[in-house]
Amino acid sequence: MSHVTALLPPQAPPPAPAKPFTTGRFFGNLFIGVWLALTIGIFLMMVEGWDPEKFTKYGPSYLSGLGVTLLLVGLSVVLGGILSLPLAFARMSKNKAFSWFAYGYVYFFRGTPLLTQLFLVYYGLGSFSAELKAWGLWWFFRDAWNCALLTFTLNTAAYQAEILRGAIESVARGQHEGAAALGLPKRIAFFKVILPQALIVALRPYGNEIILMIKGSAIVAIVTVFDLMGETRRAFSRTFDYQAYLWAALLYLIIVELLRNLWAWLEARLTRHLKR
Amino acid sequence: MGGFFTAIVEAASAFLGIIDPLCGPIGIFKLFAGNTLLACGDAGWGDEIALGFLVTGTLAVATLPIGLVMGFFIALAKQSEEKSLRLSANIYTTLFRGLPELLTLFIVYYGLQILVQNFMTAIGYDGRVEINAFAAGMVALGVVFSAYCSEVLLSAFKAIPRGQYEAGYALGLHRGRTMRLIVLPQLIRVALPGLGNLWMALLKDTALVSVIGLPDILRQTGVAARVTKQAFEFYAIACLLFLILAFLSSLVFSAIEGWAKRSEVAR
């Protein structure tokens, strides 16, 4: 009987098969190239057109514009959130009059562009200046900022009412029955059992709504409110420098991305008991 | 050749004149608003607003196929095995979902102008280049729509089980036919509600192109409001027209949804 006396020396693994150069890879490289070229082009354009005088002149006004945008969105989201509570309950109520009113309200504000609503409030109500003066409301509607705040509040209330209604209706029937079986009164059951579960469902849509409001708020620039977009338009109309828009784009992107990541973290944190 | 095109354009406008729901022979304004500010012709603003209605509708309808096709390919790129393709698609969506639509519109409008102007100067033409507001609006809205559309389609793709593709390959269909005959019909069914929402958003975003001077509903009613000093009435009409568009498209969408779900009815 013969047996093996010498072990084979260790050998290198066979070479990995060459990655095929697929169409997908070609297009992937092409698009990455396009993005790189665009980034470099925009960067070079900014370096070439860099003007410290313009930067010191318009930089602070961009920041104040950013403040106006954030204040406007923050206030209108909070006020709209308060207004959305009765709306959502009216929408779910068994009373036909209430639910039809809420349905009409939501349908109107979700079915028409925000810009049209803003014009309707600012220019439209502005044409009734005599009546408004008689009622002592003219000081409010004279100012474009107030009109924008009112429009945004009414608009976001409609969207938030739908979010809230959807979330409350998504809580399973068994939760209501469980609370009733424990002998909890309706009000306590709602606040302690139903609402916390509904708000977790509503968290993501709320985040989307805030981002949509930040993006939508750019239109107030058209009715002479100097938010970030308004300051951008002012800077562009004075300098005719295309960079003005690029800086605004950068600021908007930063806010939206920050908010998106904050919301992702918040959601992960608040739903950690649901992880399996 | 020129005469042929003029004939086609004339025929099309004549046809549109007949079926025009606002100012045609059986139009709403013609029938009910004969002697008011909304009358058609020189006496009122009916025909101007009808033109705006047509422009808004045309812009939205013309943007839809571009956005859908681009969104479909971006969704494919996002679930590709190729890393560079995924990365570039993700940059695209992050960018255009993060920018305000108005800012995108301005960037496209002025940016295209600068690009085309530089290009024309480079090849030796030194006139002023004007970018068509309709084209700029179509590009900007299409880009935004495709970014959102790719997300909707991506989540719809995830809802289709792997076995559907495998079944297609087992039947001997190659990748394109599997996609077209097996995956796409199911994809449409799953993605339709999301696409409906996007269509509504697109319809509302068309109001923004009035800012760069396209005569859409909002611009035409705005001009009328400034001239007649009856801002509330005209902007209310603008709202009403947008509501009508939204209502009509919800009817169309429920019809399409019924069509897409016709195989489930029996169950």
Closest approach of B205 to chain A, Cα-based (Å)? 7
pLDDT at A88: 93
How far apart (Å, rounded) are the C-alpha atoms in residues B151 and B157?
Answer: 10
H or E element, residue A72: helix A52-92
Q: Is residue A16 part of a domain?
A: no
Q: Do A28 and B243 touch (CB under 8 A)?
A: no
Mean pLDDT over residues B135-153, rounded? 94
Q: Which domain holds residue A193?
A: 54-274
Domain containing residue A68: CATH number = 1.10.3720.10
pLDDT at B81: 86
Domain tally, chain A: 1
Percent of chain B whose pLDDT exceeds 70: 84
Q: Do A24 and B218 touch (CB under 8 A)?
A: no
H or E element, residue B165: helix B162-170
For residue A270, the one-letter residue type is L
Q: Do B246 and A115 touch (CB under 8 A)?
A: no
Least CB–CB distance from A126: residue in B89, B207, B231: B231
Closest approach of B215 to chain A, Cα-based (Å)? 14
Rg of chain A (C-alpha set): 28
Is residue B1's pLDDT more than 50?
A: no
B73 contacts: CB under 8 Å, gap ≥ 6:
none
Cβ atoms of B220 and B38 within 8 Å: the answer is: no
- Summarised one tens digit per residue, pLDDT across range B70-106 is 999 999 999 988 889 999 999 999 999 999 999 999 9
Cβ atoms of B55 and B214 within 8 Å: the answer is: yes
C-alpha closest to that of A228 among B100, B111, B93: B100
- Summarised one tens digit per residue, pLDDT across range B237-247 is 999 999 999 99
Q: Which residues of A touch B199 (CB under 8 A)?
A: none
Half-sphere exposure of B168 (CA within 13 A, CB side): 17
Q: Do A25 and B77 touch (CB under 8 A)?
A: no
Mean pLDDT over residues A15-26, rounded? 84
- Model confidence at B153, pLDDT cuts 50, 70, 90, reads very high
User: Domain map of chain B by residue range?
Assistant: 67-214, 217-260
Q: Do B77 and A123 touch (CB under 8 A)?
A: no
Q: Is residue A23 part of a domain?
A: no
Q: Do B98 and A35 touch (CB under 8 A)?
A: no
Q: Which residues of A touch B89 (CB under 8 A)?
A: 31
Q: Is residue A15 part of a domain?
A: no
B244 Cβ under 8 Å from any chain A Cβ: no
Q: Which residues of A touch B100 (CB under 8 A)?
A: 214-218, 229, 252
Helices B184-205, B133-158: inter-axial angle, 10-degree rounding: 140
- Model confidence at B226, pLDDT cuts 50, 70, 90, reads confident
Q: Is residue A205 part of a domain?
A: yes
In the block, tokens 């606002």 appear at B22
Least CB–CB distance from B107: residue in A125, A215, A249: A249
Cβ atoms of B27 and B50 within 8 Å: the answer is: yes
- Summarised one tens digit per residue, pLDDT across range B109-124 is 988 888 888 888 888 7
How far apart (Å, rounded) are the C-alpha atoms in residues A160 and A83?
Answer: 9
Percent of chain A whose pLDDT exceeds 90: 58
C-alpha closest to that of B222 among B239, B203, B202, B205: B239
Q: Is residue A210 part of a domain?
A: yes
User: CA distances (Å), B21 to each of B30, B169, B182, B215, B216, in order?
Assistant: 9, 49, 40, 18, 16
Q: Please tell me the least confidently modeled range out of A251-260, B47-56, B87-96.
A: B47-56
B159 Cβ under 8 Å from any chain A Cβ: no
Mean pLDDT over residues B198-207, rounded? 92
Tell me, what's the ipTM? 0.85
pLDDT at A37: 93
- Summarised one tens digit per residue, pLDDT across range A52-94 is 888 888 889 999 999 999 999 999 999 999 999 999 999 998 9
Cβ atoms of A115 and A123 within 8 Å: the answer is: no
B247 Cβ under 8 Å from any chain A Cβ: yes
Q: Do A245 and B207 touch (CB under 8 A)?
A: no
A201 contacts: CB under 8 Å, gap ≥ 6:
A166, A167, A170, A171
Is residue A275's pLDDT more than 50?
A: yes
pLDDT at A17: 85
Cβ atoms of A186 and A195 within 8 Å: the answer is: no
Interface test with B, best of A25, A109, A114, A127 (most B CBs within 10 A): A127
B134 contacts: CB under 8 Å, gap ≥ 6:
B55, B59, B209, B214
What is the reported pTM? 0.86
Mean pLDDT over residues B214-218, rounded? 88
C-alpha closest to that of A71 among A220, A253, A250: A220
- Summarised one tens digit per residue, pLDDT across range A114-168 is 999 999 999 988 888 888 888 888 888 888 899 999 999 999 999 999 999 999 9
How far apart (Å, rounded) are the C-alpha atoms in residues B243 and B246?
Answer: 5
* Helices vs. strands in chain A: H and E counts, helices first: 13, 0
Residue range B67-214 in CATH 1.10.3720.10: yes
Torsion of CA B176, B179, B185, B190, to 10 degrees: -150
User: CA distances (Å), A263 to each of A194, A208, A257, B101, in order?
Assistant: 22, 9, 10, 22
Mean pLDDT over residues B169-179, rounded? 92
pLDDT at B51: 87
Is residue A21's pLDDT more than 90?
A: no
